[in-house]
Amino acid sequence: MDVIKATLSFNGTPADILHVEDEPMFARALASLMPRQYRLVTVETLFGAEDILGSRPMEAVILDLNLPDSTGVATLRRVRERTSVPVVVVTGVDDDQLAVKAFRMGAVGFFTKAELVSPGGRLRLVNELDRHILRFHCACGARELRHLSESVYQRVLAAAGPA
């Protein structure tokens, strides 16, 4: 766990997680349960989420699907259009079909709010966030490394001149 914490807490700064939740009591409860390596940035509407996602980088999103300005998988679709970071759905709706749809649309986790207040629920959420944020950063790093390698290769070819 220390390796993951070090990876997710860049320069000693907690990883910013966007929490989209319209129930203030649940939002406060979840924020109080999260470990220090995460800093939740909470908004109550999809509009607020889109604004944050357009203005600052986030490491992941914890998303309630039923908000004042959007409901169901349309909420997830709009968030996925704005960001490629991991999205974990946390909803009050206990519906297996909804979970399947969410996973098919790119969610990396699906929890009911009741699950998160049960013993072990918070730990499962944190483990999902840790795993998927780390995987996301590894994939981004690999893409950047491939791009850098290709760029260096092209410069070497150009410097060598025609064959």
State yes or no: pLDDT of 12 exceeds 80: no
Give the C-alpha distances (Å, rounded to integers) separating 27 from 11, 31, 116.
Answer: 26, 6, 12
pLDDT at 102: 95
Question: Hey, what domains does the chain have and what are their CATH numbers?
Answer: 2-136 (3.40.50.2300)
Give the C-alpha distances (Å, rounded to integers) separating 128 from 45, 95, 110, 149.
Answer: 23, 20, 10, 31
pLDDT at 49: 96
Alpha-carbon span 119 to 7, nearest angstrom: 26
How confident is the prediction for the chain on average, in pLDDT? Answer: 80
State yes or no: pLDDT of 5 exceeds 50: no
pLDDT in tens, 76-123: 999 999 998 889 899 998 999 999 999 999 998 898 898 887 778 777
